[in-house]
Structures are given as C-alpha cells and as structure tokens.
Structure 1
Amino acid sequence: MSSTFPKWYDFFMGPLERGKFKRVRRDLLKSATGKVLEIGSGTGVNFPLYRNADHVIAIEPSQNMIDQSQSKRQLAVVPIEMVNASAEKLPFEDHTFDTVVATLVFCTIPNVDEAINELKRVCKPNGKILLFEHVKMENTVLSSMQEGLTPLWKKICDGCCLNRETLQAFTSQGLKIERVEKFYKDLFIVAELRNR
C-alpha cells in the first residue's frame, strides 16, 4: 500500500461515511459480540461504532493505516487492540473469536480464498461473520463496466477490485448466509453468516 492512500482515504470516503455508510456500519456492528476480530481495519472507521463487543482485535497490514486510525481508536467505548498482520496469515489460535467483522476490505485482499480459510479457522464454531462489502453487480451492463474499470481502478485505489464476487466466495467455502441486504442497486451488500 502506498503511503499517500491512507491520507486521502478518509477525505474521499467522508461524504459516504457520514451518511448512509455510518448507519449501515452501526446497524451491522450491533451484532458484533464477545471477542471480535476485525479484518483490515483501515483508518479505524468502525472503532467508535462498536457497542456490544467485549474486546476487539483489529488487524491491518498497512502501518500507515494503523497510524491514521489512532484518533478513532481513542473514541472507542470498547477496548481495541491493533495488530499488524494480513488476512491470509492470521496470528491467532483456532476458534479464538466469537465474531469476525470485514467491512470494505475483501476488494483489496490479494488471496480471498486463503483469507476466508483463515477467518473460518480463527472463528469459533457457529460464530458470526459480519460483512459490508462492494461486489460485482447482477446487472450485466453494470457488471461489464465493473470488469472494464477494474484494472485502472486497482492502480488508482491501491488494489481495490470492483468485480469481486465476495459473497459467493464465502458461501462456496461452506459458510451459511443468515441475512443479506443490498444497497445502491446491489453494488454494496451487508451479510451475516455463520461458521458451520
């Protein structure tokens, strides 16, 4: 990740994060209970929104993002621990977490299948996985546009892939969907899954 991307991320995402996204995140994170792992915490936008968790361990591979997240960490009402690590190699024992949270991160993870396998490994049996992600759209015209834009978009936005079929990647690895909501003509999804 470049050193400039974290500085601009909050600026460009600010209008969405102060509006619809904040409500979406707050509603999703109500279900984050017990010991929570957040995958790719970025600039820490979720930190002040946790209310029902006992403890949150947030992993982030970019030290620049970790540094930028400290101000939001100070606003948290639950303990937040930061760990510099990647989703494909989580430094935790099997069955450690009651809830795993991933918000707008699976678009940039280099190896999605490895990350999901690791997530399943560290999540307790029957534990919750909470997702808020942008995904490949069902509309063929719009999904074709996503395919065409992805190579350039990845360069501009630090590896972000517009055309990931993230929910399908989770279900193909045996995770059970309990709830799905779609926003902005199915560009964004919120999902709750179980580690079964």
Structure 2
Amino acid sequence: MGKWFPHLYDTVMKPLEKRKFKRIRIKLVEQATGKVMEIGSGTGVNFPYYRNAVSVDAIEPDSVMRERSQKNRAQSPAPIQIWNTDAEQLPFGDDTFDSVVATLVFCTIPNPIKALEEVKRVAKPGAAILLFEHVRVDQPVMEKAQDVLTPLWKHICDGCHLNRDTLASVRQTGIEVNSVESFYKGVFITVSGTWGQAP
C-alpha cells in the first residue's frame, strides 16, 4: 500500500460517501445474510450496515486500514473478525460463507480472477455475491480517458485501476449475475450475483 493513501482514504471519500455512496452501501450490505465474508474491508465503512448478518469475516491486508476500521467495527450489529490476508489466498475452508461482499476493492486486487475463484471456493452453493465497484465505462471517449489515466492513478491511489472491467471478470469466473445497477453514468455499479445452486 502507498504511504499516504490509507491515512487519507476516509477524508478523500467523504463527499461521495455522504452524497450517494452511503445509500448504495446500505442497500447492498443489508442483503448479506448468515455467515458473511467481506473482501477489502478498508476502514470498515460497511460494518455498521450488517444488520442481517450472523457474523462477518473481513479481509484487509493494510495495517493502517485495519486500525482505522476499529471505530466502525464497534458500531456493527454483527460480530466482526478482521483478517490480515490477501483475497487471492483466503484462509477459509471450502463452502464456508452464505454471503460475500466487496465494495470498491476489485479495482486494486492484483489478480482479480484468482480472487473471484477463491470467492467461489469459500462460498456455499447458492451464496449471494454482492459487489459495489467502479468499472470500465462502455463509451469510447470515457474508455480512452480511463486507459490514459490509469497508470498515473495506480501510482497515486494504491494500485487502483480506473479501467478494470470487473463485471466481465465476474461473468468469466462463472458467477451468475442476477442484477446490475449503474450510477454516475456507468462509472460505478452494484452487482447482485449467486455462486452455484443451493442444495
């Protein structure tokens, strides 16, 4: 992780969080039920919204982010355990989780396909896969701008790819996409998906 980004993340994101993202997060995270895994929990912005979860195992490899998440962890309706690990190698057994949540994180994961394969491994058959991500926009001018800006953006913002097509990656790994909602002219999307068939 970059030295400054984890320290300033909440400050930089605050205007967006207050204006729209909070509502998006609440609507998404409240769909997570049972035993939940959150990938890239960051500063714990989602933690207060786990109203229907039995428990949450949160993955966050950055120590500053983990430390800053403790305040939000204390506000969670569900018990939360935070793990220092990467999404590409999860420390859980097969078929463990009823729901998986990831918000604004697949843009930074070095190997998103491997991470999604790990999600499939640890998710129970029929588990809900719930994502909120910024993605590559299907519009020529915007696509070109995202491609041009991504190298600098990655350097400034801890490896964040502006031009990553996360929805295509989800479909590539065989996760069934049940619904997609777009925001800010398609720059941000939520995805509600399912892995496998419930027994």
Tell me the TM-score normalised to structure 2 length.
Answer: 0.97
Identity %: 55
Post-superposition CA distance 1:61-117 (Å, at most 9, x none): 111110111111111111111111100000000000000000000000001111011
What is the match of residue 94 of structure 1? 94
Q: Which amino acid aligns with 2:65?
A: M
1:144 aligns to 2:169 (yes or no): no
Aligned-pair distance for 1:12? 0.4
Aligned-pair distance for 1:3? 3.3
Secondary structure of the corresponding residue to residue 19 of structure 1: helix
What is the match of residue 192 of structure 1? 192
What is the match of residue 157 of structure 1? 157
Q: Structure 2 unaligned segments of length 5 or more: list them.
A: none
* CA RMSD of superposed structures (Å): 0.7
What is the match of residue 119 of structure 1? 119
Q: Which amino acid aligns with 2:189?
A: I
Post-superposition CA distance 1:128-184 (Å, at most 9, x none): 100000000011101110000000000010100000000110101111111110000
Tell me the TM-score normalised to structure 1 length.
Answer: 0.98
1:105 aligns to 2:105 (yes or no): yes
Secondary structure of the corresponding residue to residue 128 of structure 2: strand
Secondary structure of the corresponding residue to residue 127 of structure 1: strand
What is the match of residue 22 of structure 2? 22
What is the match of residue 166 of structure 1? 166
For 2:69 and 2:3, the matched residues in 1 are separated by: 14
Equivalenced residues, count? 196
What is the match of residue 77 of structure 1? 77
